Chains A and B, each alone.
Chain A
Amino acid sequence: MNDRKLIVKIKRISGRIRREYFNDFIVDEQRGMSVLALLDEIQTGQDSSIYYDGQCGCANCGICAIKINGRPKLACKTQTADLPYEIVLEPLDFFPIVKDLAVDKSEFFNRLEQKMEAWVHRQKEFNPEKEDLMVPELADALYENERCVKCGICVSACAAASFGKFIGASGCITAHRFLQDPRNEDLGARQKLINILSSDDGLWGCHAIEACDNFCPKEIPLGRQLALARKETLKILFKEWLGLAKFWRRK
């Protein structure tokens, strides 16, 4: 298999008028080659005008997500050995294209983080002598959602995100992470998270197709994580409703 020749078709999109066309390249496959290394090979050896994003090379930064043979994947994590000899590379769906294979994901995620106020709102005073206690199980549960690298693959693969304003699996689990965290003490901020999660753009917008779960490059069990988020949100909403019912009965 070492002497396989790969035919790589790269979608080129550039210029103000967004001309779109495919360029073909022939590359000798090397052992242990990732698609990102393949792109490097083409970029440095054959056509230096190709633009793509790449950073850590170990599925940690999430910038190199592209569509490989029609499926959204991380270029660094995908091995050419797992692909047929003909490889079609396109930019990720859903996000605005910068050039060729590079897309701008920052706007989507930054706006989302602003909207849901994705930080821990503390009200307690800071004590530099002693940390707040936290059950290890809870820390693990929070970490599970923290592992998201915001690569945008779940959003790009999502049927619900392609129309409407669904915040995607990544957005839902981030919101759930801040809802789960007992250190997020501000009730107003919590209410905001619940409002987002229980809206049509949040968890209720999910069609449960679970493409996100299939494609998540960090292997976060998104189907399960979304179910947990739904459970938590429903619990809170139900409590709210019970409270209201009690209030009316007393009246």
Chain B
Amino acid sequence: MGAKTALYQEHLNLGAKIVDFAGWDMPLHYGSQVEEHYKVRGEAGMFDVSHMTFVDLKGERAREFLRYLLANNVDRLKSPGRALYTCMLNEKGGVVDDLIVYYFDETYYRMVVNAGTHDKDMAWIEGHAAAFDVSVTELTEVALLAVQGPDARSKVHDLLSEKQREKAEGLAPFNAVESEGFFISRTGYTGEDGYEVMVPADQAVDFWRRLHKIGVHPVGLGARDTLRLEAGMDLYSAEMDEETSPLEAGLKWTVAWEPQDRNFIGREALEPQYNATPARKLVGLILDDRGVLRAHQRVIVDGEVVGEVTSGSFSPTLGKAIAFARVPHDVSGKVLVEMRGKQLPARVVKPPFVRHGKACFE
């Protein structure tokens, strides 16, 4: 028996297949994860992501603290509600976690970090916050619903109060607004437009049911994974971990190197690789043959194992298998991937694979 979100009973009522995810009992799918995938690409789907960790950071030196804690630079956040994707590194330049940080004002930020890394993240954040006299408060009485897909925003708008709706409609991507108890963020993990809406836990069931009533389809973690993979988004513990530098995980764009005098955890360790070419890189793979790419399959070039698949699955949109793989920096063109005793050719491409419902890889 794992931890349960405020929506657990709703998942059961909808016939969800429940699986353990980082100690939480979460819905894998509600019948067909491929159907759910299509609903998000074509209409609108909703995900319960309340198992994630929400942390509020407050203090006079909050900004200074986050400039030090995070590899991306919170100085980029200038207007209230602005969001930033970033890694949190250890001293070796490995990734402790990836997260989204929101800016409210110079003394108040919010972070959303992964469920699977909850304990070590809290210890890491609290351990470093003390020196800056920043308070770290986990939000536990909230639920987070991701509503994603081409129709997602208008569906959510239909359920908001006039005041909330006005604020939401004005949101640019990667911006959020708090209104009448709802924290509405134009972010997501699917490659589609939409919102992540944080609501008080005791309002979660009502909001979920109202969304369902107006035709927003429940979507489980299974489709969440294929959607993010098609969208070319990394998953912590698959594409990166404490032993992997963000530069070898396709995340160089999230490391703010300038200004040179900003000292953040991991900077010194990354310095030698930042201006050189890292030994390994993260690439996309497409399998044109029948078969499914899966994590840990070996990648072979000229008869030698050179790397492995970090995440792989069947892409419902493309009708074939896609994957991320970590390989030496000079690998391109075609590789072989070993699966079930066979070696099948795969094309090396630059992710993402799908944007707004269509193939888009190079």
Q: Do A and B assemble together? A: no
Tell me the A residues contacting B by CB distance below 8 Å: none
